[in-house]
Structure 1
Amino acid sequence: MTRRPEDASAEAGRAAEFDAFYAATAKRLVATVYAMTGDLAEAEDAVQEAYVRAWQRWERLTREGDPLPWVRTVASRLAISTWRRTRNRLRAQLRHGAAADVPELSADRVALVEALRELAPQQRQVVVLHHLLDLPVEQVARETGASNGAVRTRLSRARKALGERLTDTTAFTAEGAARHG
């Protein structure tokens, strides 16, 4: 069966649309998933897999509206399940130090990432979606499959836990403490 020129043109149009979507959203999505997991490599892998899955369903996703929430949900779920399996690997990396080519992080950022890592995965996910991406509670609920009340409860508990962990002044540098004081 030979392809008609119209089919090739439509396929090229879908590919261009997907490429533009990827270019506009991938970097921020990696940052989002990284904030949820604390592991950049895992975040990149989960996001890449989510985009592969989105491409396989691209026509349906674009017909239904904005594909970003679907891609973000898939990436988040992939990363969280992977995070559970890689916890021991992360601990080994912390014991042996970061790779030499990793840029130095500020003490404030390290404290925040550590505090986020100590949250339950569901709490960490809602904090990232709501506070870092500024999504309303209703959208966070849709993307996580939880009720609005459950999202609010997770946010409240996560804020309390983060507040307790991040008020320790030893976690901030003198510069960071001056900035926050």
Structure 2
Amino acid sequence: MTELAGFDEFYAAHYSGLTVQLYLYFGDRQEAHDIAQEAFCRAYARWGAVSAYEDPVGWVRRVAWNLALSRWRRTRSALNFLRRHARLEPPAEGPSPERVAVTAALANLPERQRRAVVLRYIGDFTVPEIAEREGVAEGTVKSWLHRARAALAAELDDEPEGDQR
């Protein structure tokens, strides 16, 4: 029990100072806290030996600096790798205004009409396939599609197109 109490006091006395040093090195408070925690966890795991050292704080500080250096090297290596292997892709363009308008108009349709339109014109389902999938008569699907096209045409200021299939 005294060993644990000794570690608690050690931790309370030195954690803040080490964290400040690491923060000034990294410039990132969260990284400083993470590394300080890791260093103290390693000290705790070996507390029987570390507490007997002439300078246990120096040992924890050295572990923390080694951890910080390792993280910095890993980050630098990863960034160098990304720079060397960066793909030169052109920036992706956003959706066209027409696509945005159609998506918004579809969102205003009743759910069954919207599903029928998507299945028919995006999913390339036939009317009989939609009817079977939805468990309704083909005439019902045709009605949904007709109403949906009329609503979309009104909202998009277009003439409704007949179902060509």
TM-score of the superposed pair, with normalisation by structure 2: 0.44
Query: Normalized per residue, which structure has more helix?
Result: 1
Higher relative contact order (CA 8 A, sep 6+): 1
- Structure possessing the higher radius of gyration over alpha carbons: 2
